[in-house]
């Protein structure tokens, strides 16, 4: 059979899609029995992918079968309720269902003329996000791969704006001979911000780093004097402790100085969407740009970073591309707002998540992360661990008074297969870093995780 005929037949027969559905349902239904981290035996199966480059075509079903057989056991069971590693979310059902359909659509989200539905839902989500997070009405949103890229875009907008104020068009003239930008940054920023500063030609040597207090909040009284050439980079949700900077005080100082404040709120910005936790983000609406992920605390599928910027011109000018073949329309063209042209229609999954949960559902889900984190923290303290942070949001940092025991304890818990979390270095010592950010986590999951620690400690 000619290749094209075979592909047409495969699409028509639907066999591969039916099989995918069957594997997917099986995976979902067995998620709670699965080892949260693959066993060594499973990991060995990965060798089945060490094959020479295939010369001839294979049926779609055969390809899928191989992936399911050796791939499924080598996933992390993060869609169950007991994965507490890094800060990973768990796509809510509506967002996953919508993703399946949009995968079939296979749209290129760059321009209105390439995908009217994506352009429309980007605009709808932009206005919903402003309302949910309490951001100024002039704010625009771009949908990017994650907060690494969202931080890059926000800081690129800041760079453009701060140089333009000094009569310098960075798009044309670059940075050689440019007036200086002063960068004032929290010393415990996520490592992606350093990467961003390198990519944008700003570097890290000239950054005026500001120390953090014992909870990981920037020390306001150590902030240098700000002026209109300043970019201040703050954090909503410290990567370890989940702590929030004092936006209210710092943003006021920045406003008086006409400085730009960028907030990395990858997972923490969502505190603003919860009545009980909103106080943590007080004053953050006075900043100029924000980075946030859908795929962490909001529980959208991956590939859902969002940059929000109060100065549309700064973001759009920083992201400007001109190409004679690009057909811009009267409608929103997503490519104007971010660094990419071809891209997945990520905003559709953000839309589905917000629509499925609603404002009250988002509030409930995020508040529950905090309640579960507190329950876990209290339980682990009762087992004799030291709690190292105030559990203001979804992060819990614990350790055993003895460094060596902390390490063996974590290794035991990780190899239990029952739950998984990672480690970090906190104030010079190893700490167990736990993040609660899955809609699927139940109180029973929290309690059984405490049990695993208890047994491991015995
Ligand atoms: C996860 C995270 C990032 C990076 O976001 P990605 O979506 O992984 O690119 C940046 N900052 C903070 C605080 C984070 O937690």
What is the average pLDDT across 274-281? Answer: 98
What is the average pLDDT across 1-15? Answer: 94
Residues 241 and 216: beta-carbon distance below 8 Å? yes
- Reported as a single tens digit per residue, the pLDDT across 311-350 is 999 999 999 866 656 667 778 899 999 999 999 999 999 9
The Å distance, Cα 196 to ligand 1 centre, comes to 12
- State residue 322's pLDDT score: 62
Q: Of ligand 1's atoms, which has the minimum distance to the CA of residue 268?
A: 13
What is the average pLDDT across 58-87? Answer: 97
Mutate to test the pocket of ligand 1, among 293, 295, 346, 394 (most ligand atoms within 8 A of CB): 293
Q: Which residues contact 99 (CB under 8 A, 6 or more apart)?
A: 91, 301, 348, 349, 352
> What is the rounded CA–CA span in Å between residue 233 and residue 250?
10
> What is the rounded CA–CA span in Å between residue 21 and residue 237?
37
- State residue 110's pLDDT score: 95
- State residue 7's pLDDT score: 96
- State residue 19's pLDDT score: 98
The ligand 1 site (C-beta within 6 Å) comprises: 87, 146-148, 190, 192, 237, 239, 264, 266-267, 293, 305
- State residue 329's pLDDT score: 74
- State residue 449's pLDDT score: 98
What is the average pLDDT across 153-171? Answer: 97
Give one DSSP letter per residue of 260-275, joined into a string.
Answer: EEEEE-TTGGGGGG-T
- State residue 166's pLDDT score: 96
Q: In 3-state terms, what secondary structure has residue 231? A: strand
- Reported as a single tens digit per residue, the pLDDT across 238-257 is 999 999 999 999 999 999 99
Where helices occur in 67-146 by DSSP H, the ranges are: 93-105, 116-133
Give one DSSP letter per residue of 146-190, joined into a string.
Answer: SHHHHHHHHHHHHHHHHHHTTT--HHHH-STTPPP-EEEEETT--
Tokens of 392: 């203001």
- Give nearest CA residue, ligand 1 atom 1: 266
- Give nearest CA residue, ligand 1 atom 7: 146
Mutate to test the pocket of ligand 1, among 185, 190, 237, 238 (most ligand atoms within 8 A of CB): 190
Q: Which residues contact 7 (CB under 8 A, 6 or more apart)?
A: none
Residues 80 and 32: beta-carbon distance below 8 Å? yes
- State residue 89's pLDDT score: 94
114 pLDDT more than 70: yes
Mutate to test the pocket of ligand 1, among 142, 192, 395 (most ligand atoms within 8 A of CB): 192
Q: Which strands, in side-by-side order, build the sheet including 260-264?
A: 140-144, 305-309, 289-293, 260-264, 230-235, 182-186, 208-210
Q: Could you tell me which residues are beta bridge partners of residue 307?
A: 142, 291
The Å distance, Cα 62 to ligand 1 centre, comes to 36
Element (H, E) at 408: helix 403-415
- State residue 128's pLDDT score: 98
Q: How many CA atoms lie within 13 A of 256 on its CB side?
A: 7
**Which residue, among 156, 362, 161, 148, has the nearest Cα to 264 in the 3D structure?**
148
Mutate to test the pocket of ligand 1, among 85, 152, 239, 339 (most ligand atoms within 8 A of CB): 239
- State residue 315's pLDDT score: 96
Q: Of ligand 1's atoms, which has the minimum distance to the CA of residue 149?
A: 9
- State residue 320's pLDDT score: 84
Residues 298 and 355: beta-carbon distance below 8 Å? no
- State residue 323's pLDDT score: 60
- State residue 313's pLDDT score: 93
- Reported as a single tens digit per residue, the pLDDT across 30-43 is 999 999 999 999 99
- Reported as a single tens digit per residue, the pLDDT across 191-209 is 999 999 999 999 999 999 9
What's this model's pTM, rounded to 2 decimal places?
0.97
- Reported as a single tens digit per residue, the pLDDT across 176-190 is 999 999 999 999 999
- Reported as a single tens digit per residue, the pLDDT across 81-96 is 999 999 999 999 999 9
Tokens of 377: 């923290």
The pLDDT mean for the chain works out to 96
- State residue 326's pLDDT score: 65
Percent residues over pLDDT 70 in the chain: 98
């Amino acid at each position: 059979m000619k290749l094209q005929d075979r592909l047409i037949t495969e699409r028509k027969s639907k066999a591969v899609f039916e099989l995918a559905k069957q594997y997917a349902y099986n995976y979902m239904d067995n998620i709670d029995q699965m080892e949260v981290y693959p066993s060594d035996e499973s990991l060995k199966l990965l060798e089945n992918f060490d094959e020479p480059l295939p010369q001839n075509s294979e049926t779609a079903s055969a390809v899928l079968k191989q992936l399911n057989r050796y791939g499924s056991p080598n996933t992390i069971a993060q869609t169950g309720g007991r994965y507490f590693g890094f800060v990973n979310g768990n796509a809510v059902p509506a967002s996953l269902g919508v993703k399946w359909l949009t995968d079939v659509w296979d749209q290129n989200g760059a321009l209105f003329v390439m995908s009217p539905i994506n352009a429309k839902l980007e605009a709808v989500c932009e206005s919903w996000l402003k309302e949910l997070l309490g951001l100024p009405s002039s704010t625009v949103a771009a949908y990017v791969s994650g907060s690494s890229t969202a931080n890059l875009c926000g800081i690129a907008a800041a760079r453009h704006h701060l140089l333009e104020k000094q009569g310098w068009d960075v798009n044309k003239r670059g940075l050689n001979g440019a007036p200086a930008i002063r960068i004032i940054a929290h010393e415990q920023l996520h490592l992606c911000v350093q990467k961003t500063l390198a990519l944008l030609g700003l570097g890290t040597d000239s950054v005026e780093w500001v120390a953090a207090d014992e909870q990981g909040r920037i020390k306001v009284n150590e902030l240098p004097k700000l002026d209109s050439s300043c970019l201040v980079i703050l954090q909503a949700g410290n990567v370890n402790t989940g702590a929030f900077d004092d936006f209210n005080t710092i943003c006021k100082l920045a406003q008086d100085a006409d400085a730009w404040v960028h907030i990395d709120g990858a997972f923490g910005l969502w505190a603003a969407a919860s009545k009980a936790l909103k106080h943590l983000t007080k004053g953050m609406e006075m900043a100029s740009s924000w980075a946030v992920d859908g795929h962490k605390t909001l529980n959208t599928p991956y590939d859902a970073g969002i940059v929000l910027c109060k100065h549309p011109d700064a973001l759009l000018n920083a992201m400007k591309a001109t190409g004679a073949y690009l057909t811009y329309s009267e409608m929103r063209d997503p490519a104007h707002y971010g660094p990419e042209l071809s891209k997945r229609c990520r905003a559709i999954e953000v839309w589905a998540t917000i629509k499925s949960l609603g404002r009250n559902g988002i509030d409930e889900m995020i508040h529950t992360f905090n309640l579960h984190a507190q329950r876990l923290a209290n339980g682990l303290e009762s087992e004799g661990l030291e709690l190292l942070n105030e559990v203001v949001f979804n992060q819990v940092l614990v350790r055993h008074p003895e460094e060596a025991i902390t390490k063996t304890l974590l290794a035991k818990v990780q190899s239990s297969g029952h739950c998984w979390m990672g480690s970090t270095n906190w104030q010079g010592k190893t700490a167990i870093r736990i993040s609660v950010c899955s809609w699927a986590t139940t109180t029973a999951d929290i309690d059984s995780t405490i049990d695993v620690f208890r047994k491991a400690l015995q």
